[in-house]
Amino acid sequence: QVLTLDARNHGGSPHSPLMTYEAMSLDVQHLLTRLGITKCILLGHSMGGKTAMTLALQRPDLVERLISVDISPVSTAPVSEFSAYISAMKSVKIPDGLSRSAARQLADDQLRPVVQVPQLRQFLLTNLVEVEGRYGWRVNLEAISHHLADIMSFPAFHKPYPGPALFLGGSNSPYISSRDYPEIQRLFPKADVQHIEGAGHIVHQDKFEEFVTAVLNFLPPP
């Protein structure tokens, strides 16, 4: 059984002014409790990976195995880059009544000067939604920009997570680097670090087959 959940301020989940890893970890814990799940294998990408790590370190009893996709338990490089992306998203203007494809193309054109990597623009554009003829972003840009420093950093932990962990990075991405290995080793002593050749930050989009294979190989046999 696979459950995919939207973090707060993302997708179909409710918006909240609070956006910390402790809060997002609690969201997942509450969901597990509600569904009666006492043990799970947790997979998260980027901010979701940091949320998954936080939960594993807070409540190792709930996490059988952990998979962190292209993110380490350290502060993530420049806040300014993400701040620029958020500003670019906020400044997108789309007239009412356009077709979805035209609106998406217009948003893509307006983001291009700041978000130059096409795959990243495509990823951001998945958040463009239409409500009664009006286009806007379904992510809570205000809360995310307000908590950007929290999102880019990682909470302090002293007790390691004892279970198996996989850190799965993209070879073209800087987010799991050899500089992070000591901290990965300290907090996740059973960690295996792998990089998928030719993948950027959005590993599962760039190299889908290789990503799925790596994840399946890490899972316990059925």
Burial 69-84 (b: 16+ CB within 10 A, else e): bbbbbbebeeeeebee
- What residue type is assigned to position 41 of the chain? I
Dist CA 148 CA 78 (whole Å):
10
The H or E element spanning position 196 is: strand 191-196
Give the DSSP letter string of 32-79. Answer: HHHHT---EEEEEETHHHHHHHHHHHH-GGGEEEEEEES--SS--S-H
Please give the positions annotated as active site: 46, 142, 201
| Total count of residues recorded for the chain | 222
93, exposed or middle or buried, with CB in 10 Å at 0-12, 13-18, 19+?
A: exposed
